[in-house]
Amino acid sequence: MNKNKVLSEMFDRMADALEFLDENRFKVIAYRKAARVLEDYPEDIEEVYRKGGVKALKAIPGIGERIAQKIAEYLETGHMHKYEEVMSMVPQELLTLLDVQGIGPRTLRLAYDKLGVRTVEDFKRVLEDGSLARLPGMGPKKIENIKKGLELYERMRDRIPIGLAFPLVNEIIEAMKKLDEVNRISACGSFRRMKETVGDLDILTTGTDGRKIIDYFVHLPGVTRVLASGDTKGSAIFHDRYQVDLRVVPEESYGAALQYFTGSKQHNVHLRTIAKSMGLKISEYGVFKGDEMIAGKDEAEVYKAIGLPWIPPELREDWGEIEAAAAGKLPLLVELNDIKGDLHVHSRYSDGTATLEEIAERARELGYEYIAICDHSVSAKYAHGLEIERLKEKVERIRKLNKSLDGVRLLAGTEVDILPDGRLDYPDEVLKQLDFVVASVHTWRKDEDVTDRILRAMENPYVHVIGHPTGRLISQREGYQVDIDKIIEKAAETDTALEINAYYDRLDLRDINVRKANEAGVKLSIGTDAHNIGQLWMMVLGVGTARRGWSTPQSIINTMSYDELIQWTSSKKERMSQ
């Protein structure tokens, strides 16, 4: 994790604190903006400062004199006076509750001022004993809402969205590979299975000197606490949040250990049952017939020993993959390499930060044939949704730009809002001029069932994809009410694709719904929903989710060539207008 991220988090925390302290709200906005800019900034901020000093920092949009000074102070001294000052003025632990749906700065401040609430425990107590409910403005509905928000938050708190762990794990693995003693290395656990959230992160290595490998591991940059450090196992907390366990096993047991630590538990139990019926025993050290080890060096060997083909990690949930494997009916899963483009990206035209040129350039680097620019529509005011005129201007610029591009094409698209009555936020005459149309629900009334809105949107001949179909946010909210089975049925009927939104906090559709969609023969579209080019890597999360839902390349429209994709998008038009 570089200093960009560290600084970004500092400014974010300060923004939270200032909001709690009732500072000028525009100052709060400025801090938040600085945090976002820093997080998104493609270059290492330390490098920028080293080369150009405070002046170079100020040249970054959103960073002015005062914030530049603070950044410089931190980079020079490792401290930021203002940060420490502000943090000393607020109950820091309490502020973590700002992440809870339904709790804002005013509510916290009220509890702090009137009830002396200082900690999360305090807050829960006043919530339960009714003293919070007695304060002005706090009715029963509000209390109920906060309780539900807290429940969801608690349930998710110990698990980490995979997208947050992903860069860290890759960083650790890359760092470990530099050590000569490390031979083979891989992540395992739910991370390797690409589950949407992960608990502890497990990494497995083989190597010649366990103690040295573990010692190197617990001294990696980013380690804030060491929990264990021995010959075969090390455990450390990275960045105060992520627990990472590293295991070193003998070369001949690597496959068995990888299989064992990848899980899932249910999958492993099922495998062991089969092994037992064959007079074999599977452990993390190998597959044994009596005392004789008959497999273990490679994972495929382990599966082969009990008469199965190798099963991709993403399928190992005991959701029928073992039976499918035994019957020779495992799906040939889509792979990242099959993906020819990203089908949901925001540009600077709405609430993204990248220009069309930057997106095109990055798409080319990623080896894409195309990338769909899907900015927000008029009604999405908070996201600078595009008025029709501005959309037309964007389309023209894309058409022009495409003539000068080599090897990659931008698709003129939109993420059009599905309005409360199910109409779309742009008229058909406008939509028909676009290459790619994602339609999404962004606003809904509490407890509203949005199924009919989405069904109606799918009837539109110009809608190619339903964006993030359930609206859930992994760490924040459950999403709107929607009958996913009806959506899938209608998607099949109208040949509308459903999105696998690959943004780490969405992963929507989620794995089980992807599987349902596949069983119904529905096409799926993977889009990162990236708002800057630093988020395009999340395609791998979308592909992981697709794989967890048993997707083959045939069901994913991103595997189509440009020509095939254009043909597919226009075929709906033709069919629906007949």
- Report the distance separating Cα 385 and Cα 399, nearest Å: 20
Rounded least distance, CB 133 to DNA, Å: 8
- Cβ proximity of 498 and 517 under 8 Å: yes
The reply on whether position 103 binds DNA by CB under 7 A is: yes
β-pair partners for 288:
281, 293
Alpha helix segments (H runs only) across 386-524: 388-404, 428-431, 451-459, 484-494, 511-519
Q: Which residues, in sequence order, are CB contacts of 494 under 8 Å at separation 6+?
A: 458, 459, 572, 576
Q: How many CB atoms lie within 10 A of CB 577?
A: 8
* Site track 414-453 with DNA (rule: CB under 7 A), x = hit: ------x---------------------xx-xx-x-----
Rounded least distance, CB 420 to DNA, Å: 6
Between 161 and 207, CB nearer to DNA? 161
- In the region spanning residues 70 to 89, those forming contacts with DNA, defined by CB under 7 A, are 82
3-state SS of 450-483 is CHHHHHHHHHCCCCCEECCCCCCECCCECCCECC
Q: Which of the ranges 26-34, 366-374, 459-467, 566-574 carries the binding residues for DNA, by CB under 7 A?
A: 26-34
183 backbone dihedrals φ, ψ, rounded to 5°: -100, -90
Rounded least distance, CB 414 to DNA, Å: 16
When binding is defined by CB under 7 A, the residue of 8, 107, 268, 525 that contacts DNA is: 107
Q: Which residues, in sequence order, are CB contacts of 310 under 8 Å at separation 6+?
A: 299, 300, 303, 304
Between 108 and 373, CB nearer to DNA? 108
Between 67 and 306, CB nearer to DNA? 67
Between 443 and 554, CB nearer to DNA? 443
Between 270 and 477, CB nearer to DNA? 477
Q: What are the C-alpha distances in Å from 471 to residues 358, 452, 480? A: 28, 15, 6
Q: Which of the ranges 141-149, 225-233, 275-283, 547-555 carries the binding residues for DNA, by CB under 7 A?
A: 141-149
Between 155 and 381, CB nearer to DNA? 381
The reply on whether position 116 binds DNA by CB under 7 A is: no
The reply on whether position 535 binds DNA by CB under 7 A is: no
- In the region spanning residues 462 to 481, those forming contacts with DNA, defined by CB under 7 A, are 473, 476-477
- In the region spanning residues 195 to 234, those forming contacts with DNA, defined by CB under 7 A, are none
- The token pair at 69 is 């000074």
Rounded least distance, CB 507 to DNA, Å: 16
Rounded to the nearest angstrom, the gap between the alpha carbon of residue 571 and the centroid of all alpha carbons in its chain is 32
Rounded least distance, CB 417 to DNA, Å: 10
β-pair partners for 450:
none
DSSP-derived letter for residue 135 is S
Between 295 and 473, CB nearer to DNA? 473
- The token pair at 564 is 């095939």
Between 26 and 577, CB nearer to DNA? 26
Rounded least distance, CB 383 to DNA, Å: 7
* Site track 121-140 with DNA (rule: CB under 7 A), x = hit: ---------------xxxxx
When binding is defined by CB under 7 A, the residue of 3, 118, 124, 142 that contacts DNA is: 142
* Site track 355-384 with DNA (rule: CB under 7 A), x = hit: --------------------------xx--
- In the region spanning residues 39 to 68, those forming contacts with DNA, defined by CB under 7 A, are 58, 61-68
Between 183 and 476, CB nearer to DNA? 476
Rounded least distance, CB 113 to DNA, Å: 11
Angle (CA) 100 105 106, round 5°: 120
Rounded least distance, CB 401 to DNA, Å: 23
Count of residues near DNA by CB under 7 A = 48
Burial 155-186 (b: 16+ CB within 10 A, else e): ebeebbbbbbbbebbebbeeebeebebbebbb
Q: Which of the ranges 99-107, 112-120, 486-494, 516-524 carries the binding residues for DNA, by CB under 7 A?
A: 99-107
Q: Which of the ranges 45-53, 100-108, 204-212, 451-459 carries the binding residues for DNA, by CB under 7 A?
A: 100-108
- The token pair at 62 is 């959103």
When binding is defined by CB under 7 A, the residue of 92, 145, 264, 355 that contacts DNA is: 145
The reply on whether position 31 binds DNA by CB under 7 A is: yes
β-pair partners for 501:
508, 527
Between 6 and 72, CB nearer to DNA? 72
- Cβ proximity of 425 and 441 under 8 Å: no
Burial 7-40 (b: 16+ CB within 10 A, else e): bbebbbbbbbbbbbeeeeeeebebbbbbbbbbbb
Rounded least distance, CB 223 to DNA, Å: 32
Classify residue 464 by burial, with Cβ atoms within 10 Å: 0-12, 13-18, 19+: buried
Locate tokens 């119904």: which residue?
Answer: 520
When binding is defined by CB under 7 A, the residue of 7, 10, 17, 30 that contacts DNA is: 30
Locate tokens 């907390």: which residue?
Answer: 237
Rounded least distance, CB 4 to DNA, Å: 16
Classified as helix, coil or strand, 246 is strand
Between 137 and 279, CB nearer to DNA? 137
- Report the distance separating Cα 223 and Cα 498, nearest Å: 40
Between 33 and 233, CB nearer to DNA? 33
- Cβ proximity of 487 and 457 under 8 Å: no
Between 148 and 392, CB nearer to DNA? 148
- The token pair at 477 is 């909210």
- Cβ proximity of 316 and 267 under 8 Å: yes
Rounded to the nearest angstrom, the gap between the alpha carbon of residue 200 and the centroid of all alpha carbons in its chain is 17
Between 110 and 175, CB nearer to DNA? 110
223 backbone dihedrals φ, ψ, rounded to 5°: -75, 125
- Cβ proximity of 45 and 56 under 8 Å: no
Rounded least distance, CB 302 to DNA, Å: 44
Residues making contact with DNA (CB under 7 A): 24, 26-27, 29-31, 33-34, 58, 61-68, 82, 101-108, 110, 136-143, 145, 149, 381-382, 420, 442-443, 445-446, 448, 473, 476-477
